[in-house]
Every structure is written in C-alpha cells, then in structure tokens.
Chain A
Amino acid sequence: MDYFIELFFGGLTRGSIYALIALGYTMVYGIIGLINFAHGEIYMIGAFTSFIVATVLSIYGFPLLAIVVIAGLAAAVWSSAYGFTIEKLAYRPLRKAPRLAPLISAIGMSIFLQNYVLLAQTSDFLPFPALIPEFAFMEPVAHIVGSSDLVILVTTTLVMIALTCLIKYTKIGKAMRATAQDKTMAVLVGINVDRVISATFIIGSALAAIGGLLIASHIGQINFYIGFIAGIKAFTAAVLGGIGSIPGAVLGSLVLGLTESFATGYVSSDYEDVFAFSLLVLILIFKPSGLLGKAENKKV
C-alpha cells in the first residue's frame, strides 16, 4: 500500500512538471495554431539559467532562500525573454505562411537552441544543487512523499490558481481568450494581437522555466538534452487533454504523469516512454479531440 501511495505522489509530481510545460504548448497552440517545438528548449534554458545563477550565488555565499528566489526569478525572466525573441524572429514573419512553415521553423529553432546551449556551456550532465531543503515535518512520510515533491505540488497548484485568475479576471486574460477564439474579430475590436501573442509566449515560457527549476532541483542534474523528451511528453499531455484547452493541459499532464508512474512502478521502467505514447494513441482513438477537447463542429 505504501508503494502505491509513493507511486501516486510520484505520478502527481511528474504530472505537475508536465503541466507547467504543457500549459505553454496549449496556450500558444490555442492562439496561433502552432506546435511550438522550441518550447521544450525554453524549459531547458530555464533549468540552465537557474543552475548558473544558483551556483554563482552559492559560491558568493548567499543564503539558501535568497538563492531559490533569485534563481527562480532569473529563470523566469530569461526564459520569457527567449520565448519573446523566438516568437518575434521565427514565428511572427510566418503568420500568413502555409501551416507547415512555422512548424519547420520551430523545429529548426529547437535544434539551434539545443546546440547553442551545448556549445556555450557543455555536453556534460551538470549537478544541480538541492535548492529545496528537507523539511522536518515531512520526516514521518519522507519515504513516500519527499519535501521536494511537496514543494512541487504546492508551487504548481499556486501557479495554476494564479494563471486561472489571470485568464479569467484580467484584461490581458480576456484579450488572450478573445484572440484565441477569433483573431480577426479581436483585431477589429481593437485588441493589439501582436502584444497578446507575445504575452502568451512570455507567460508560457515563465511557467516552463519554473518547471525547469523545480525538476532540476528534484532530480539533481541537468543536461542540454532534457528539453527534448520533456517537451514531447508535455505536448503529448496537452494533446491528451485536448489541445488549446488550459484545464485540458493540466488534466492530461496529471493523467500522463500517473500513468507513467504506475506503469514504470508495476510493469517495467524501460518502456516508460512507450506507455506515454501508447496512452496517447489509445485516448485519441476513442476521443479524437482529447479528453477535454471540443469536437470540431464542421461548419459546412
């Protein structure tokens, strides 16, 4: 029974990280219909930035709490900057292009960023400092749920709530929803669509960066390649939940995280990724628009 609970929380943790990344995918897709292949690299850059900043600060002797906060902010700021720049350089010029052109551009950006970090930093696996200390009150359940898991779950929940409030109640949130539903009309009612799209990229990137920081601290190491597989999984989660739907992204991520956790725990860990993709294929066969996706009503 203990094992089950351990796997359950492990799955939730995984799912939370996927959710932070998947939100970026689903928001961008909802607004411009693009699969942002470079998003995984934004997550990786977030992890790297927080690693660099945290290590520098720890060498200079900053207290742990300050390091965590500053590193987190730095990761969010720089990842957002990268997201913003990528959109402007590689996607904005292709707004009116045939659908596949931005996709290839995104793939090219992904390859470029991976190698950029590889060359500018290193191909080695870098040890990430444990930024989340072991809490004393977690001691009795530490073998099932770690402090790190707890922090991840709490942080992700808080972030979700903040994002939901943003989308629902703020002006920019409304503008984002409007643009996602009908871009032409949004322009006609005076929404600055370019700014809305940039904002979407910025928010999505910041979320991914936080995810990068959390997972790096949780696992203890980073590498220039982590963006790729996390990106694909997170995108799978977003599609699973219904691409373009924010609650869908969260649901899909949790489902994916739990499935992976239980599958690797009870069946086999080698085929972890196979389970993820097989789950996707299965769900799409029975619900072609994803779990929470709206079935496309053909207006013929």
Chain B
Amino acid sequence: MFPVKELKRSALISLWFAFLTFPIMVIKVDPIERLVNYRWDNMFFIAFGSFVLSILAKVFIIRKEKKEARKKPKAATEPFMQRVIREPRFLYPLSIACFVFGLSFPYLFSTYQTNIMTTALMYVVLGLGLNIVVGVAGLLDLGYVAFYAVGAYSYALLNFHFGLGFWVVLPIGGILAAFLGILLGFPVLRLRGDYLAIVTLGFGEIIRLILENWNTFSQGPSGVANIARPSFFGIDMSFAGGIIYIYYLVLLLVVFTIFVVNRLQNSRLGRAWLALREDEIACEAMGIDKTKTKLMAFSLGACWAGLVGVIFAAKTTFVNPASFTFLESAIILSIVVLGGMGSIIGVIMGALILILLPEYLRALSEYRMLAFGAILVIMMVFKPNGIISNVRRSYRFKKNVSTGGESNG
C-alpha cells in the first residue's frame, strides 16, 4: 500500500536522527563520579519518532500536491478564512462579539485566567506597536524590548523615588520611550536592513546590561519592588480587584491601539510607510522624506512599548532586568511575522496564539520552551507569509465621481 521507497527513505531519516542525537540524548556523563550512563531508550524514542513523523510529513505533502493539481489554475484566490474575515458583514458582528466577550471575560473565568488574558492582550498591543515599525514601515527592529523596559522602569523608579502615581507616569513613560526612539533612530536608521537589525539588537542588550549593572540608578539585578498599583479615583483595590481593574485597562488600551493603528495605516502617513517598505529608493524619488518617515514609525512604535511597559510594572508590581531579554524582542517579532506583516487582525491572532498557547501548554511544564521553539519553526515553514497576508484597501468609483469606499486592511 505505502510505497517501499518511502519506507526506506523514512528508515534512513530515522537512522540519521538516531546518529545525530547520539551524544546528547544517549550519553550522560557524571564527571565527578566518573560514571557513564547510556540511555538507549532515548535512542529508540528518537528513531521511532522521526520515522513516524517523516512518514506523516510525506503523506501531508502528497495530499497537498494532489489538492494543488485538482484546483483549477487561476489567479491566486484568498484562502477561505481570510475572505471570511474580510467580509464587512461578517467582520463587524464578529468584532462586536469579541468585544462583548472581552468585557465579560473576568466574570466568566477565574482571576488566574484573567491574569493570563491580560498578559496576552498586552502582547497584542506590543505586537501592534512593533507592527508599525516592522510590518508597515519595514524597519527590522530586534531591540524593541528596550522601549518596553524604559516604560516599565520609568514607572518603577518615578514611583519609588517620587511617589508619582500610575496615571501621571503613563504618558511620561510613552513620551520617554518615544524620545529614546528618536535618539536611537537618528544615527541608526540609515543603515541597511540587516545591519539595522543587529544594531537594534545590540541596543536592546545595552539597555538591559545598564539596568543590570548601574546599581545606584536601577537597583541592579534585584530590581524595584512594591510598585504601586493603579488606583481607581483614589480608591485602592484588593488583589483580585486590582487584577480585574488592570484587565479592563489593558482591554481599553487594545481597543484604543486598534483604532489608532487602523487609522494610521490607511492614511497619508501609512501609505508613506508602506512605500518605504516596498522600495526605499523609489519612495524617496517620489518626494517622501525617508529620514522623517522612518523616525516617525520608529518613535511611534517605541511609544507604544513604553505605555505597555508602564502597565507591566503596575501589573506585576516588580521589575528587574531579567524581564527584558532579547527573547522578549524575539517573541514580539514572531507575533508580527506570524500574523502577517502589516495586518492588524493577523497580529492580534498571532499574539493570542503565541502567548496563550504556551500558557495552556503549562501541562508540558519543562518542555514548554522546547515546544515554543518548534512551533516557531513549524509555523514559518508552513505559513511563511503569516496567517493573514496583505490585502490593500479597495476604493469604489462611480462614473467620474469618486467615493472612498473601504474594506479593512
């Protein structure tokens, strides 16, 4: 039934993996006791697993090829899910339903779940913020976490030293982060794509290292604790109440962010960013000031990270440099890429998938990060263009008269 050639190929593959993983999976040495332990069961597990997986992969590929051959060759049609989501008659009720669900979430689920959802929503905002920089303007920023840290630490330190409240610091955090974005952007934005990536990565690390080592300023690795929660018109909240309060705060921020980002993307500025991403040289030749446009994207994105940073500090009431590693930047970037560069809905879905999934995979405990890494690779291999790929706004024109009709992008 199943071609022998394929079985032989899978057998070779499983042999290869058994060989590949031999030293690390099979051999375990105890240098102190001078003992060697051979874990042969691991080897059988790997061999068997890779055999099965390679067979499944081949089946999947064959099925996909058969499907492609059956389909009538025509201009690329949008995948079904994407078309469904785009349809305005479907989109608006769906959005409202989601919003209502979001509003009632804390009353339907436990405090623990609400806390997780809050984190996920915070990453939605972070993703949308980075989306402006990477997805729309095409600037590869690998150090986004630096602005996140600026927001968090500005609240932590201003609260610690001067007792400033949450609502006072929230805009300050955003402005500080935006300012840092302009400061960093100025020398750096004229670098070519991949050079920009490594410089921003380096910058993110520099910020983290400074926070870790400049003890007098940032209290070093131990961080700042006992940060005040946001108050509700002066009333302090209980623990559970505080969590719900922050949840609604973040939900509000999400709605606000979606609103602003959507407006930006479909504006003169948004188009300039897209042009920048598509072809920098042509963009400049058409009269757009490259530097100013890049700086706008960079600092606006930074501002958002700053805002979320302030909320992060208020939510966890404790910040230390360990929360702001490169891994964070990588996760946020993955959300943007997975979502489909520039697509708001895609980024939201990407954030929910990448953040909620590991949380609900807590059952796997120590295999969580392993699975996370594997998920990133698998998602990229199967959907390199992201979940939702690019669709531009369409316009309706009556004869000789134009109306700007739209479907959301």
| Chain B 122-136 interface mask (CB, 8 Å, partner A; 1/0) | 000000000000100
A189 CB to nearest B CB, Å: 27
Within 8 A of A (CB), among B166-197: 187-188, 190-195, 197
B79, CB-defined interface residue at 8 Å: no
Task: Judge whether A94 and B24 touch: CB under 8 Å.
Answer: no
Q: Do most interface residues of chain A lie in helix, strand or loop, or is the interface mixed?
A: helix
Task: Judge whether B376 and A107 touch: CB under 8 Å.
Answer: yes
Chain B residues whose C-beta falls within 8 Å of the C-beta of A239 in the assembled complex: 194-195, 198
Task: Judge whether A281 and B337 touch: CB under 8 Å.
Answer: no
Given known A100-B341, A111-B369, A281-B188, contact A232–B205 (CB-CB < 8 A) = yes
Task: Judge whether A111 and B23 touch: CB under 8 Å.
Answer: no
Task: Judge whether A100 and B337 touch: CB under 8 Å.
Answer: yes
Task: Judge whether B206 and A278 touch: CB under 8 Å.
Answer: yes
Task: Judge whether A288 and B29 touch: CB under 8 Å.
Answer: no
Chain A residue with minimal CB distance to B134?
A100
Given known A35-B198, A120-B24, A126-B31, contact A81–B380 (CB-CB < 8 A) = no
Chain A residue with minimal CB distance to B20?
A81
Task: Judge whether B209 and A104 touch: CB under 8 Å.
Answer: no
Q: Do most interface residues of chain B lie in helix, strand or loop, or is the interface mixed?
A: helix
On chain B, the number of residues with a Cβ less than 8 Å from chain A's Cβ atoms is 60
Task: Judge whether B191 and A284 touch: CB under 8 Å.
Answer: yes
Task: Judge whether A115 and B370 touch: CB under 8 Å.
Answer: yes
B94, CB-defined interface residue at 8 Å: no
A98, CB-defined interface residue at 8 Å: yes
Q: How far is the CA of A97 from the CA of B191 in the complex (A)?
A: 23
B381, CB-defined interface residue at 8 Å: yes
B372, CB-defined interface residue at 8 Å: yes
Q: How far is the CA of A155 from the CA of B401 in the complex (A)?
A: 75
Given known A104-B334, A274-B206, contact A121–B376 (CB-CB < 8 A) = no
Q: How far is the CA of A35 from the CA of B375 in the complex (A)?
A: 19
B202, CB-defined interface residue at 8 Å: yes
A172 CB to nearest B CB, Å: 22
B19, CB-defined interface residue at 8 Å: yes
B73 CB to nearest A CB, Å: 19
Question: Which of A2-10, A44-52, A257-265 is the contact stretch?
Answer: A44-52
Chain B residue with minimal CB distance to A110?
B373
Q: Which of A55, A104, A113, A243 interacts with B338 by CB under 8 Å? A: A104
A47 CB to nearest B CB, Å: 11
Q: Which of A94, A117, A285, A298 interacts with B384 by CB under 8 Å? A: A94
Question: Which of A85-93, A138-146, A177-185 is the contact stretch?
Answer: A85-93
A64, CB-defined interface residue at 8 Å: no
Chain B residue with minimal CB distance to A270?
B213
Task: Judge whether A97 and B31 touch: CB under 8 Å.
Answer: no
Task: Judge whether A121 and B341 touch: CB under 8 Å.
Answer: no
Chain A residues whose C-beta falls within 8 Å of the C-beta of B29 in the assembled complex: 51-52, 55-56, 59
A111-B370, A117-B24 given; name 17 further pairs at CB < 8 Å: A56-B27, A59-B34, A85-B20, A90-B381, A94-B384, A98-B384, A104-B376, A108-B334, A108-B375, A114-B369, A115-B373, A116-B24, A121-B28, A232-B202, A236-B202, A274-B209, A280-B198
12 sample A-B contacts, Cβ–Cβ < 8 Å, listed by A number: A33-B194, A85-B20, A94-B384, A97-B380, A98-B385, A111-B369, A112-B370, A112-B373, A115-B373, A120-B42, A284-B191, A289-B195
